[in-house]
Structure 1
Amino acid sequence: MRIGVHPNNLHLRLASAWPGAFAGLDPIFVPYSEGRDTAALLESGAIHFGGTGSTPPIEADARGLGVEYVAASAPRPANGAIFVRADSNLNSIADLAGRRISLIDGSFHTYLLARSLEGEGLALADVERVESGTRDSLAELLEGRVDAWVAMSPRLEKAIGHAGLRLIVRCGATIPNRSLFWSLARIGLSAAETAGIASELARIGSEIAADPVRAARLLAENDRGGTGADAWERVVRSRDFSVVPVDAAVLAEQQEEADTLFRHGHFDRAVAIGRPPEAVK
């Protein structure tokens, strides 16, 4: 089983270093740079499943790739927020109209921004989305090159305590922000394989929660950004690592996101979210 691992999916990142993880599936962990690459790697057969935020699988379905959802994390209400400079005159989402917003576009950042704007009668078209890519979004915000920043862990925890920043929206007040573990129909995972993946993700999640110090050390050892074990431990302790098989409620959340992004013009046509894996075997 070829399992895709990118730095922002902490569950699979930890699994790739966790003793005995996915042993029953003869795992090969395939590293790659970011969640938005998952669909292309699945399409090429380079990986058999991966884990991302909620938006990349919807992007894949918008391309007609036929997503099969395998499992879902618990909601991650603490893993996203929108910041402005502390000395700016921007006090609410409504003040972002016409402003430059730094984000990873096509990730859950886009959905968080869309839902936040929608609550104020605004749309994605009312702001300028600035792809953060590999740039230093914190520096860009502090230096005034952008007006707001959609941040996520582990940089989120540092941003919350930064004297030069002010938080205006937390993720949990706006979107569920789950991790989704998914494949494509063309990969042909069996019902037994999807059940095994979900079960193993849940088992590893329980072990991570039971030993956050060990999990933090593993994350720090492989951190290219220099985040230390103490900071990673705060991230691990703030997160619910439980995982469940995908059900109708999770698919309904995905459909709501797809419909929202379509309303905002992010997609040029409506996207229909697929059925749970067991319903298509």
Structure 2
Amino acid sequence: MRIGVHPNNLHLRLARLWPGSFAKLDPEFVPYGEGRDTARLLESGRIHFGGTGSTPPIEADALGLGVQYIAASAPRPANGAIFVRVDSDIQSMAGLAGKRVSLVDGSFHTYLLARSLEGEGLGLADVTRVESAHHDSLEELLEGRVDAWVAMSPRLERVSGRPDLRLLVRCGGTIPNRSLFWTLERHALPAETIRTITDELDRVGREVTADLRKAAELLAAEENSDGDADAWERVLRSRDFSVGPAGAEIIAEQQAEADTLHRHGHFSTGVALKRSILSA
């Protein structure tokens, strides 16, 4: 079983480091750059499943790739936020009209931005989205090249409380912000394999929760780790690592996101999601 692992999915990143993970599936952990690459790697057969935020699988379905949802994490309300400079005259999301917003477009950032703008009667078309994947977004914000920044964990925890930033919005009740674990129909993963994956994700999550210090030290020891053990432990304490099957509630959440992004013009046509393997 080839399991895709990118830096922003801490659950699979930890599974790769955790002793005995996915042993029943003879795992090969395949590293890659970011969640938006997941569909391409699934399509090519380089990986059999991966984990991302909520938006990449919808993007894959919009391309007609035939997504099958496997499992979903608990909501992660602390994992995303929108910041402005503390000296900015932008006091609320309404103030972003006509402004430049740095984000990883096509990730859950896009959905968080859309829903947050919608609450003020605005849409994605009312801001200029600036791709941040290959730039230092914090530097761009502080130097005035963008007006707002959609940040996510683990960097979010490191900038929270900075005196030169002001928080506009947290994920909180705006979006569920789950991790989704998914594949493509073409891989035809049997229902028993899907159950094994889900159970193993949940087992690793429970063991991580029971020994956060060990998990933090494993992350800190990685080559080019972006934090020490203390910093990683703070990140890990902020999230619920429980995982369950991607049932009807998850599909409904995803459909609501797909409809929202279509309403905002991110998708030119509607995207109709299929049920998960186990609920089909």
**Quick check: 2:153–2:235 contact (8 Å CA) kept in 1?**
yes
How far apart, CA to CA, are the structure 2 residues paired with 1:264 and 1:36? 20
Q: Give the Å deviation of 1:158.
A: 1.6
Identity of aligned residues (%): 71
Aligned to 1:18: 18
Separation in structure 1 between the aligned mates of residue 37 and residue 158 of structure 2, nearest angstrom: 26
Q: Which residue of 1 aligns with 2:158?
A: 158
What's the counterpart of residue 200 of structure 1? 200
Matched AA of 2:67: V
* Equivalences for residues 1-281 of structure 1 within 5 A: 1-222=1-222, 224=224, 226-280=226-280
How far did residue 163 of structure 1 move?
Answer: 0.9
User: C-alpha distance in 2, partners of 1:98/1:169?
Assistant: 18
Residues of 1 paired with 2:168 and 2:78: CA distance?
A: 14
Deviation at 1:66, TM superposition (A): 0.5
User: Structure 1: 5+ residue runs without aligned partners?
Assistant: none
Q: Could you say what secondary structure the match of 2:40 adopts?
A: helix
Q: Give 3-state SS (helix, strand or coil) of 1:197's partner.
A: helix
Shift of 1:223: 5.6
Q: Which runs of 4+ in 1 moved over 2 A?
A: 223-226
Shift of 1:226: 3.2
Change (3 A) 1:223 1:169: farther
TM-score normalised by the chain length of structure 1: 0.98
- Once the two structures are TM-superposed, the CA of residue 27 in structure 1 deviates from its matched residue by 0.2
What is the Cα deviation at residue 279 of structure 1? 4.0
Contact map agreement 2:220 2:227 (CA 8 A) in 1: yes
Q: State the one-letter code of the partner of 2:217.
A: R
| Partner SS for 1:230 | helix
- TM-score using structure 2 length: 0.99
**CA-CA distance at 1:225 after TM superposition:** 5.3
Give the residue type in structure 1 aligned to 2:174. Answer: T
Separation in 2, partners of 1:29, 1:151? 27
* Cα distance in 1, alignment partners of residues 149 and 10 from structure 2: 21
Name the aligned partner's letter for residue 256 of structure 2.
E
Give the CA deviation at 1:278.
Answer: 2.1
Give the distance between the partners of 1:130 and 1:225, measured in 2 at CA: 26
Aligned residue pair count: 280
User: Could you say what the CA RMSD is over the residues aligned between the two structures, in angstroms?
Assistant: 0.8
- Runs of 5+ unmatched residues, structure 2: none
CA contact (8 A) 2:219 2:225 kept: no
**Cα distance change of structure 1 residues 103 and 196 upon mapping to structure 2, 3 Å threshold:** same
Contact kept? 2:77, 2:177, Cα under 8 Å: yes
Tell me the distance in 2 between the aligned counterparts of 1:165 and 1:261: 28
Specify the SS of the correspondent of 1:278.
Answer: coil
C-alpha separation in 2, matches of 1:142 and 1:224: 25
- Cα deviation code 1:226-253 (max 9, x no counterpart): 3111111001011100000011011100
